[in-house]
Structure 1
Amino acid sequence: MQSRTLLNHTPVRDCFSQDYAEARARFVAAARRAGAQLEHHVQVDLAGAQGETLSTDVALIGAAEATSLLILSSGVHGVEGFCGSGCQVALLRDDALLALARQRRVALLLIHAVNPFGFSHLRRTNEHNVDLNRNFIDFARPTRNPAYAGLHDLMLPAQWPPSADNAQAIASYIAMHGEAAFHEAVTTGQSEFADGLFYSGTAPSWSNEMLRAVLRAHGAGRRRIAWIDVHTGLGRCGHGEKIHAGLPGTFDNLRLARSIWGADVVAAWAGDSASRQVVGHAVGAVFGECPQAESVGIALEYGTRKTSILDMLRPDQWLHRYPGTASAEQQAAIKRELRNAFYVDDDEWRGMVSGQCRTALLQACLALGH
């Protein structure tokens, strides 16, 4: 298949990368070409899967005094960063879209690899097994999820693949409590099992503190802020579901999001999304860190292959809970399947996701600009 191209004739596939190190190099090069102001937030005590430096790189394009700011972020869930990074590089190479942002006096803030450890090591979580979209909470009131306690050992048994008895026990739980209650118990978030699924942590992560500092530095003085946070794994393959990233129950903010991105913006807190409502998502930080601004955001959630994401997360979490148990071959197979669950290495898919992201960016520029 011939690679699709951007408006400036750059092949779309050249915006996407095969690993974190390549993605970081492409992002930094594209940001420099675009004349962006670059900053590097390095995790000095950690190394990547290839021994590379781990960094969240931030690119700002536009006047510091611009009253409107459009944020595009990637890699909150590390292994999902392949898609978001590609969309960010595509934006940085899109001369027409950059010109429109300048014309509309909208500053662009690109935050690349919010979770660089997870991106590099092919984990959804960070270096401490924290799910960053469960970590932006008030830690005086940690996420209590007693229903997860009864499922922890069932979801992550000592043996992998799980036994028939394990599968039957989970099926019995679902039969008793219902599919929705099962998924709510597992995925909402929990603070009591540090080696468990969807762990919120008990303190702000490095990425949490870094992201808040970036928002304070670049969001101060802005009157309007729109944020697009790229995710993958849920929904129809190649389709980007626009999920409201405001605070739950904020109908006025949901209406604002729909006025920018269309009536098909859905709200997980209203039960009309492929995603379940979570407690402590990263985009919610903008409301506390930039209180002077009218802020609105969406998670742009791209479907990948038709598979159960939970079924993909369980074996990787098993590797984390029982280190040294799996053979090298089993570890490699689990990591390969996890990457494939969150990134479709196909030109048609890359064209679909980058095109939809471009549309969302255009809509935001037009809504924010003068």
Structure 2
Amino acid sequence: MPISIIFSFFLMITPTSAHATDLNYFKNTYEESEQDFDRIFKQIKQKNPKSDVLEFQYSQGTIKSYLIPAATPENLLIMISGTHGVEGFTGSAVQRNLLAQLPELKKTSVLMIHGFNLYGFKNKRRVNEHNIDLNRNFIIDRKGFTSDDQAYTGLNSFLNPNEAPSLNLFSRPLFVLRSVANIAQHSMESLRRSILQGQYSVPQGIFYGGAQIEPQAGLIEAVIAEFIGKKYQKIFIVDLHTGYGERGRLHLMSGKSTDANSIELLKIFEKSEIDFADAKNFYAVQGELLHYFINRLKIRSAFNTSGVTFEYGTLDSQKTFGSIESLRRMILENQNFHFPADSKTSTDIQNMFVEMFYPSDPSWRSEVLRQSDEKMKKVFHYLEN
């Protein structure tokens, strides 16, 4: 590739300082996010008429996947928002920000899957309409799968109270005390692992992975059949999430450091940029969407396929008390859904929950866009060279 083209390409995607109009990408409803997505896509299609939309219809509505083809398609970037519904507000903003400043595509086509968990996005819940965490649902081999939920079920009364929640003066201190007692008994590392990896025994509980694969698996197959086929040499998937980690920091999350996917990521990012599942005080996830998608693509074709989770930290949950507060809000939201409190308490709980995954702080939102641009520059470099 001529050096002039390379220079022009990177000039177009080099991050600029955040400004007021950047924050317009952050919407308050799913409908506003979708309308803005359609608006930007129509502008792109005027310049690139081969751009296309796949509409996947199921019980909760229509999930749209937008393809913007390169001039000579050799590689493909896939970006997914809303796997955990309420996290879709940030993910959608990142997608639209990227589309609005998309460079002229030489070799890399772009596929945006918008609002993967439509129910959760619309209703500001993390789970889908069946109380299932979709990022714990995509088990590759269901017949041979068993989950050790013993530690989780032992904590069930703590994690999933069967009464209406309260936000009285003593509720938070009591929760902290119970959490510290559990940490002292089991250790923070074992608690994180047993709770966050996903469970398959308590359908009304948090982090429930479900007894069978959910309809969105059909979306993945439809996307592969309609848009991917055997066209590409390299495919890279970015699944957009919020919640875990240092507030205001974009964490790159992968599986074990020795996995083939993790080794491929080191061609794109520095080792220090990636949180591997086998690192100390970290955890692996069962039924992860990204792993399932990569696996399906490798089965259906011979692509060099890899991917990463973008996780935008909100409550410093990598620290003990940030982790406790994150867990408290998760429990309260789920508890309130199944055993509703009075109107004011319910509203306060939902507001706390949304703020955990979609902070209203303008500086946090600006940092999300700035750091996303910074990381995506490296992804495009990997795909274009």
**Structure-1-length-normalised TM-score:** 0.86
Residues 335 and 169 (structure 1 numbering): CA distance in 2 closer, same or farther, change over 3 Å? closer
Q: Does 1:38 align with 2:53?
A: yes
- 2:270 pairs with 256, 262, 266, which one? 262
Residues 170 and 239 (structure 1 numbering): CA distance in 2 closer, same or farther, change over 3 Å? closer
Equivalent residue for 1:220?
229
Equivalent residue for 2:134?
132
State the shift of 1:185 in Å.
1.6
Q: Does 1:367 align with 2:371?
A: no
Q: Does 1:201 align with 2:204?
A: no
Residues 364 and 326 (structure 1 numbering): CA distance in 2 closer, same or farther, change over 3 Å? same
**Native 8 Å contact 1:132 1:208 kept in 2:** no
- Choose 248-257 or 70-79, whichever is displaced more: 248-257
Equivalent residue for 1:49?
none
- Between the aligned partners of 1:349 and 1:233, the Cα distance in structure 2 is 12
- Choose 223-232 or 141-150, whichever is displaced more: 141-150
- Percent identity between the aligned chains? 26
- Between the aligned partners of 2:207 and 2:142, the Cα distance in structure 1 is 16
**Native 8 Å contact 2:18 2:370 kept in 1:** no
Equivalent residue for 1:12?
22
Equivalent residue for 2:149?
145
- Between the aligned partners of 2:239 and 2:280, the Cα distance in structure 1 is 19
- Between the aligned partners of 1:200 and 1:64, the Cα distance in structure 2 is 40
One-letter code of the match for 1:303? G
- Between the aligned partners of 1:231 and 1:164, the Cα distance in structure 2 is 29
State the shift of 1:11 in Å.
1.1
Q: Does 1:191 align with 2:200?
A: yes
- Choose 5-14 or 249-258, whichever is displaced more: 5-14
**Native 8 Å contact 1:266 1:272 kept in 2:** no
One-letter code of the match for 2:161? P
Residues 365 and 164 (structure 1 numbering): CA distance in 2 closer, same or farther, change over 3 Å? closer
One-letter code of the match for 1:219? I
**Native 8 Å contact 2:53 2:65 kept in 1:** yes
**Native 8 Å contact 2:89 2:358 kept in 1:** yes
Per-residue deviation, residues 265-287 of structure 1 (Å, max 9, x unmatched): 424322257x5211111111233
Residues 142 and 219 (structure 1 numbering): CA distance in 2 closer, same or farther, change over 3 Å? farther
The SS at the match of 2:374 is helix
The SS at the match of 2:65 is strand
- 1:318 pairs with 316, 325, 335, which one? 335
Q: Does 1:346 align with 2:361?
A: yes
RMSD of aligned alpha carbons:
2.5
One-letter code of the match for 1:154? F
Residues 31 and 10 (structure 1 numbering): CA distance in 2 closer, same or farther, change over 3 Å? farther
Per-residue deviation, residues 248-268 of structure 1 (Å, max 9, x unmatched): 464443222021133334243
Residues 169 and 359 (structure 1 numbering): CA distance in 2 closer, same or farther, change over 3 Å? closer
Q: Aligned runs of 1:21-170 on 2, under 5 Å?
A: 21-35=31-45, 36-43=51-58, 45-46=59-60, 54-63=61-70, 66-94=73-101, 97-99=102-104, 102-103=105-106, 105-137=107-139, 138-140=141-143, 141-159=145-163, 160-161=165-166, 170=179
State the shift of 1:23 in Å.
0.8
State the shift of 1:12 in Å.
0.4
How many pairs align?
A: 348
Q: Aligned runs of 1:166-315 on 2, under 5 Å?
A: 170-221=179-230, 222-244=232-254, 248=256, 250-271=258-279, 276-291=283-298, 292-306=302-316, 307=322, 308-315=325-332
The SS at the match of 1:297 is strand
Equivalent residue for 2:343?
328
State the shift of 1:55 in Å.
2.9
State the shift of 1:32 in Å.
1.7
Per-residue deviation, residues 166-193 of structure 1 (Å, max 9, x unmatched): 7655543322221211222211111111
- Choose 116-125 or 216-225, whichever is displaced more: 216-225
One-letter code of the match for 2:220? L
**Native 8 Å contact 2:257 2:276 kept in 1:** no
- Choose 65-74 or 207-216, whichever is displaced more: 207-216
- 2:373 pairs with 344, 347, 358, which one? 358
- Choose 260-269 or 80-89, whichever is displaced more: 260-269
State the shift of 1:328 in Å.
1.7
One-letter code of the match for 1:188? Q
State the shift of 1:145 in Å.
1.4
The SS at the match of 2:103 is helix
**Native 8 Å contact 1:143 1:200 kept in 2:** no
- Between the aligned partners of 1:163 and 1:91, the Cα distance in structure 2 is 39
**Native 8 Å contact 2:238 2:310 kept in 1:** yes
**Native 8 Å contact 2:18 2:369 kept in 1:** no
Q: Which runs of 5+ in 2 are unaligned?
A: 1-14, 46-50, 317-321
